[in-house]
Structure 1
Amino acid sequence: MAFFAIVMFVGVFDENSLVRKKLLPVRRQLSICGCLLCLAHVFYYAKTYLVQLGSSPQLHFSGTSGNLILSLTISVILVLLLAILGITSCTFVKAKMKASSWKNIQRLSYAFFTLIIVHLGIILVPPALSGNTPAIESVVVWGLVFALYAVLKIKREIKLRRAADEA
């Protein structure tokens, strides 16, 4: 997620920002690294899901089982989005696409990031509410990261629209 957070935040800096100028050339590589690390995460936790699903002869849509099914469903969607975004981040794939098509596909990253927030909430909020310190810390840190990104992204979009209106 740290790689994806960097990729996200590059887009909120002004065009002339030193941070943007330094990170924009490696944004694609950071995204691909994030995808590969996410795949490692997926393979590790897929086993956990399968064991939990296999140990419960009858799952109900309530309590932990409901969270498990919801989390698994979101995880499947996230993996599909990850595959689409990761593949289209590769130079050889991007080169064969129209720029507008590539840009539209990359807009799926907003759905991806939103679903990550939901997924993290489903996984981390119950233990956080039970007083689990690492879960509390993760909820606070990632909540702040995503909230800050949302504020900065909205601020940047407003600024860009005002500039376009003035032009």
Structure 2
Amino acid sequence: MRVLVALLLVLVVSILFHTAIRKHPGAFYLVALALCAVYFASFVAPDLRVNYWYATFLKVMQRGTLGFALITVVMYIGVLPQVSRLRDMLGPIRRQLSIAGCIMLVPHIAFYARSYLASNVLSDFNNVAVSLVLAMLLVVVGLMLFVTSFLVVRHGMSPATWKRVQRSSYVFFGLMFVHLLLFLLPSVLAGRAETQLVVAIYLMLGIVYAVLRIVRHVRDCRGLDAGASAGNADVLGARN
């Protein structure tokens, strides 16, 4: 349920502050960095973990819930109808949301890299090992998308090259779901109801997005959405 709560929170914040985020992206990134800093404070002050609210915050950050929620919102913005109030509000801040989402995934990456890569988990070929290999690939692709989302980098690239790079965001989003499902598979097979619910939510989000993506592609090909253009290809790096 944390995933749905995080998605709702991110969506509400994005809608309420879309103008501020567009005009002051630096402040938005600083908020994301501040949340990461609060998380990393637990490494130097472990006594903080005994606080219930801080412990809950740590779980959310460690699991990458907020980062995942931000990226999911960015992806879903891309399949909204061209003529819609929600797209008008959120379309111009896709770049900002994606950058903040990548920043918010850093604690998740740091926690699991510290926990698993120092062990011998990769010595056996199993679902967890495959999941971690996918995670490494996700870090590489995500870093590439993150860097090219900044305007100063984008302006130094040809439009065709930037577009090809940004199209890898579809691969990124798909691999993210596969990574999560593989990692949670043992818990699901063990019959843990909570994990089964989480997996069901992830599957629902992935399937709904895939269906909407196909519908959007068909509509664009038929010219049913006014203003459809090559700019729709970008996902993590928005047009603006």
Residue 37 (structure 1) aligned with residue 104 (structure 2): yes
Return the match for 1:9 from 69, 76, 89: 76
Aligned pairs (5 A) from 1:58-77: 59-61=123-125, 66-77=126-137
Structure 2 unaligned regions, length at least 5? 1-67, 225-240
2:86 and 2:185 mapped to 1: Cα distance?
Answer: 33
Residue 163 of structure 2 aligns with which residue? Answer: 103
Residue 121 of structure 1 aligns with which residue? Answer: 181
Q: Which amino acid aligns with 2:172?
A: F
Structure 1 unaligned regions, length at least 5? none
1:127 and 1:51 mapped to 2: Cα distance?
Answer: 22
TM-score (normalised: structure 2): 0.62
Q: Which amino acid aligns with 1:48?
A: S
| Displacement of 1:47 | 0.9
* Structure 1 range deviating more: 133-142 or 84-93: 133-142
Q: Which amino acid aligns with 1:27?
A: R
1:127 and 1:30 mapped to 2: Cα distance?
Answer: 31
Aligned to 2:104, the other structure's residue is in SS state helix
The percent identity for this pair of structures is 36
Q: Which amino acid aligns with 1:133?
A: A
1:134 and 1:33 mapped to 2: Cα distance?
Answer: 28
CA contact (8 A) 2:74 2:98 kept: yes
Residue 25 (structure 1) aligned with residue 89 (structure 2): no
Residue 81 of structure 1 aligns with which residue? Answer: 141
Q: Which amino acid aligns with 2:171?
A: A
Return the match for 1:46 from 88, 113, 122: 113
CA RMSD of aligned residues (A): 1.6
CA contact (8 A) 2:147 2:153 kept: yes
Aligned to 2:217, the other structure's residue is in SS state helix
Residue 93 (structure 1) aligned with residue 93 (structure 2): no
TM-score (normalised: structure 1): 0.88
Residue 31 of structure 2 aligns with which residue? Answer: none
Residue 130 of structure 1 aligns with which residue? Answer: 190
| Displacement of 1:27 | 0.6
1:162 and 1:42 mapped to 2: Cα distance?
Answer: 41
| Displacement of 1:133 | 2.5
2:141 and 2:128 mapped to 1: Cα distance?
Answer: 20
Higher relative contact order (CA 8 A, sep 6+): 2
Aligned length: 157
